[in-house]
Amino acid sequence: MVSQWNSRARRIGAATLLCLGMAACQPASMPANDTAEPPANARTVEDGSPPGNDQVEGNMEEATKSIIRPDIEPSPTPTPPAKPAEMTVGFPAKGYDVDPAGMARLDELIADPVLRLGGPITIWGHSDSSGSDAANLLSSRRRAEAARDYLLKKGVPADRISVIALGEARPVAPNRNLDGSDDPEGRAKNRRIEIKVGLPDAVASTD
């Protein structure tokens, strides 16, 4: 009877030692229950994207927002300062009235924004050397006055316009060739008026 009890005790002890040995051999890092779910923030192969991809995209968006500032508009281009307007209008031979070509030129001047600023307008009349000094001086004045009258018809105030007759005193081309013959092309350039539209004092003082 005693021997049977000893034999059973030895078997129980051996079984206990075997269980303890198996438990000791199991890795400590392995969970006791292999059915435990992975952490909520863990990624698996089925996700289809490598770890950290969302973080990289977020950084790129932040960098884009920090560089591009839609709330800041580009500064406007500064307006260049106004300058006086100048123009030359030719006249036909022995002509004292503004022809269609001259009218077109004066219309360009009327459309110039500088004219609407209200500055002074000076018209110089010129002639070639085909007549006497007195006759050429009169011709140059009549041409300048013809241009003045055209501007008056277009609504330009008379008190802004000054007329100066210079006759043949300031040619821009020779009236005769070196052999003494007539130079029609040069005379045509000298039959002219010159117009200058200045700036008002308030505008000129700011330049």
pLDDT at 21: 56
Total number of domains constituting the chain: 1
* Nearest-angstrom CA–CA distance, 160 and 151: 11
* Nearest-angstrom CA–CA distance, 148 and 25: 117
With respect to residue 132, please indicate whether it lies within any of the assigned structural domains: yes
With respect to residue 42, please indicate whether it lies within any of the assigned structural domains: no
pLDDT at 123: 98
What does residue 25 show for φ and ψ, rounded to 5 degrees? -75, -20
pLDDT at 45: 44
* Nearest-angstrom CA–CA distance, 73 and 170: 54
With respect to residue 109, please indicate whether it lies within any of the assigned structural domains: yes
pLDDT at 126: 97
* Nearest-angstrom CA–CA distance, 102 and 147: 9
Average pLDDT over residues 34-63: 52
* Nearest-angstrom CA–CA distance, 36 and 29: 13
Strand spans (E) along the chain: 85-90, 121-125, 161-165, 192-197
Is residue 86's pLDDT more than 60? yes
With respect to residue 143, please indicate whether it lies within any of the assigned structural domains: yes
With respect to residue 156, please indicate whether it lies within any of the assigned structural domains: yes
Query: Which CATH number characterizes residue 115's domain?
Result: 3.30.1330.60
Express each pLDDT in 137-148 by its tens digit. 999 999 999 999
Average pLDDT over residues 88-105: 93
With respect to residue 128, please indicate whether it lies within any of the assigned structural domains: yes
More confident call, 181 vs 65 = 181
**192-197: strand order across its sheet:** 85-90, 192-197, 121-125, 161-165
119: containing domain: 85-201
With respect to residue 61, please indicate whether it lies within any of the assigned structural domains: no
With respect to residue 25, please indicate whether it lies within any of the assigned structural domains: no
Per cent of the chain over pLDDT 90 is 54
Average pLDDT value for the chain? 79
pLDDT at 169: 96
Is residue 94's pLDDT more than 90? no
Average pLDDT over residues 179-198: 95
User: Would you tell me the crossing angle of helices 133-153 and 100-111 to the nearest 10 degrees?
Assistant: 50
Is residue 158's pLDDT more than 90? yes
